[in-house]
Amino acid sequence: MYKQIRTNPMYIYLILLTVASAVSLQGWNTLFNNFAVDTAGLNGLQVGTIQSVREIPGFISLLVIYVLLVMKEHRLSVFSVLLSGLAVVLTGFFPSFAGILITTFIMSLGFHYFETTNQSLTLQYFNHAEAPVVLSKQRSYNSLANVVICVVIWGCSYILNIKWLFVLTGIVVVLISLYAIKINPEKDDLPIQHKKLILRKKYTLFYILNLLSGARRQIFVVFAVFLLVDRYKFSLQEVTILFIINNIVNYFASPYIGKAINRFGEKRMLSLEYFSVIFIFLAYAFIDSALVAALLYIIDNILFNFAIGIRTYFQKTADPADIASSMAVGFTINHIVAVVLPVAGGALWLLDFRIPFVAGSVLGVLSLIAVQRMRVQEAVN
């Protein structure tokens, strides 16, 4: 099956953009906490506020529907990645709360609009058995790109200051995007997508799982690495090494997740994820060990790859013409709580760093309860 997938021009196109997007986000994530704390002198509340602003573009992802009225979906994908790369180039030149806030918003706008169109195009161009494999391959190449950019940042950090590390990362993204602009992977025989807001009762569980997943993910993204930097005093080099190890593990693990979804079904895989994160977040809160916290970060990253099951579940239950609109709606719902949660969590962090992680554990419980309502074929033989 994978040989057939690789001959699809859309597969190559999306892998290329996935790599560029990964370099953009991972480079930004690798540098952000140390840039915020050591260069800009920001506190937990300010970091939380920036992370909340970072999620606003995700909250307005439904506007993708209207952008598609004037631009083809695969073109929006590449221009979104290009925008993200340009924002990363600019970030290092503005080491202040306001400057980081603005460049973060622009970077995030590009990232979230690419993710929305990437998921939509994947579900449109690949069938039920192929989609989990393609999504997991994207995660795998994402991890490989993350390893490469982390190694580059780690090596260059000894000769370049953090401003020029942002510039170097962003230029790589821009160059890949400019190359991808020349490619046309479009097919004309696919169902025509609705160019309007689609909300259907039968997609309710998809909406709920996106909401809970977005909230849980934000607690992890915002506070797991911040815990390592703020509480355990990880240096830029140590954070980078952690990202390298994490992404090497995920590079090898990700392809098996798509196969496992096909074999065991979305419900079982998502149940395993949600059950596990209940205890992972509690461990973040109450186990006082930098090594354990770093190990939990890696395990949590592997488990979050199971979230592709939310999208493949939707593909199996949705009308084909609803995919583009529903992916935009799903991304918006995914970010409803994410917009306010980082800043609220940052305020709670000032009271006790354990509170955001306990909240993440509660979200794991709610997600586990919700996913039991999933009704799809449990395996593809």
pLDDT given at position 378: 47
pLDDT given at position 244: 84
Chosen CATH of 2-371 out of 2.30.30.140, 2.60.40.10, 1.20.1250.20, 3.40.50.620: 1.20.1250.20
Give the pLDDT confidence of 153-210 residue by residue, as tens digits: 888 988 998 999 999 999 999 999 999 998 888 777 677 776 777 788 888 999 999 8
- pTM tops 0.85: no
Q: Are 149 and 172 in contact (CB under 8 A)?
A: yes
- Give me the phi and psi of 327, to 5 degrees please: -65, -40
Q: CB neighbours of 168 closer than 8 A, spacing ≥ 6?
A: 152, 153, 156, 160
Give the pLDDT confidence of 223-272 residue by residue, as tens digits: 888 888 888 888 877 887 888 898 899 989 988 998 899 899 999 999 99
Report the distance separating Cα 22 and Cα 144, nearest Å. 9
Domain layout of the chain by residue ranges: 2-371
Q: CB neighbours of 55 closer than 8 A, spacing ≥ 6?
A: 108, 218, 335, 338, 339, 342
Token pair for 13:
């196109």
Average confidence (pLDDT) over 339-368: 87
Report the distance separating Cα 288 and Cα 56, nearest Å. 33
Residue 338 CB neighbour total at 10 angstroms: 26
pLDDT given at position 380: 43
Residue 129 pLDDT class (50, 70, 90 cuts): confident
Report the distance separating Cα 163 and Cα 155, nearest Å. 15
